[in-house]
Structures are given as C-alpha cells and as structure tokens.
Copies of this chain bind each other. A is one copy, B any other.
Amino acid sequence: MHKVLTDKIINRLTLYHSILSDYIEKEIEYISSPQIADLLHIDNTQIRKDIAMIGYKGKCKVGYKTGELKCKIEATLKFKTVKTAVIVGAGNLGMALAKYDNFEAYGFKITALFDNDPVKIGIKINEKEVFNLNELQFIIDKFSVKIAILTVPRKFAQKVTDFLVNAGIKYIWNFTPCVLNVPDNIQVWNENLIGNFLQFTVGVEDNQTF
C-alpha cells in the first residue's frame, strides 16, 4: 500500500495527525472531514479520499473517531518504527532540530549531535550530547545509525558528506543549500527550505504587495 502514498498525501496525513492530537488533548471524540477542511482550507472530498485510502472509515453524521484515526495514520506512516539518527552540525539549526520534541512522536530518535567546535563538544541539548566528529564512527556503529541530519555550513557540506558516507551512513537529510555528490546507494533528501516556500510565493499574483 505504501507504494501509492505520494508525498502530498503523506504531507496531508501528518497535518491531519497534528489536528487529531489537538482534538484528543481537548478530549473531543469525533472529527468530521468538513472540520478538518476548515482548518486546512482544502476541499473535504480530498480529506475523505485520503482517509479512505489508508483504510479507515468514518461513521455517518458523526465523522471519524479521533483516537482510532490517529492510530491508523501512525501505523500507515510507521511512526512507531524507531528511526535512529544523528545531527551533524551543532549550529542554530542543528540545535533547533535537537530541541524539536515532535521528532520522537514521529519515531525519530536523535542519538547524538556532532561538531568540530571544541566549545560545543560535551554540552547537552535536550539530553543529547554533542560529540567531536571523530567519534562519529564509534557512535553510529554502536547504535546502528543509518540516518544523518546534515546542518553544517555550506562550505563543509561536501567534505562532511564524504566522511559520513565512508562511515556507513545510508540516508542523508540535507539542510545545507548544496547539492551533495554521493554514490548511488546513498539516499539524499534535500530539504531545500526556501524551495518549499517559493512554491507559495510564485503562485501569488504580481500585483500583490510583497
């Protein structure tokens, strides 16, 4: 089934998940597709389609059971599968990601951060220690880490990537603005923050005041 989950559907499912968490916190037992549609400003037919696709059915008139739908989304997106990762680059972005508690809800477990700045080594961010890059091999072997979140400055991006690949990292979540050169068996997800947001601004009419 996962084969047909496009990136847009996955993105919407995570948004539904976020809304469901809010509802559950407020002890609301049911949610309807028009309620979700209202919050996300999208068509409720789309929402019903997405939810039917992951094999969950609502009840006529009352809608979806919040707890059940949340669990169904978590199972579909494998939130319970632990995905161990390290953050490479303990600058502001690396620290922001280390502090981002939502990672754990999605199954990501940040084992450690790495940096080459002696001032940062040994400090703890959200209970995660910053290690010297030369300890990376030891730590990724010990915890079987295959995912690295890359948040180093642009000029070090390729050099650090080569180092990660040699150490055995297989998946790189790339937050640098560089296109990384990697062997075919390594997967890179280019976060490309600004590219994401451009989608939003390019569509805006030229006569809008920006």
Contacts and interface: CB of A to CB of B under 8 A. Distances in A.
Interface stretch (A4-12, A43-51, A131-139): A4-12
A200 to B, nearest CB: 4
B192 A14 contact: yes
What number of copies of this chain does the assembly contain? 2
B11 A196 contact: yes
Nearest to A41: B184
A146 B196 contact: no
Interface string A10-29: 11011100110010000000
Contacts of A202: 2, 5, 10, 77-78
Given A179-B19, A187-B200, A96 B92 contact: yes
| Top 10 A-B residue pairs of the complex, sorted by shortest distance between their CB atoms | A92-B96, A14-B195, A93-B96, A7-B199, A189-B200, A92-B95, A83-B210, A11-B195, A102-B177, A106-B194
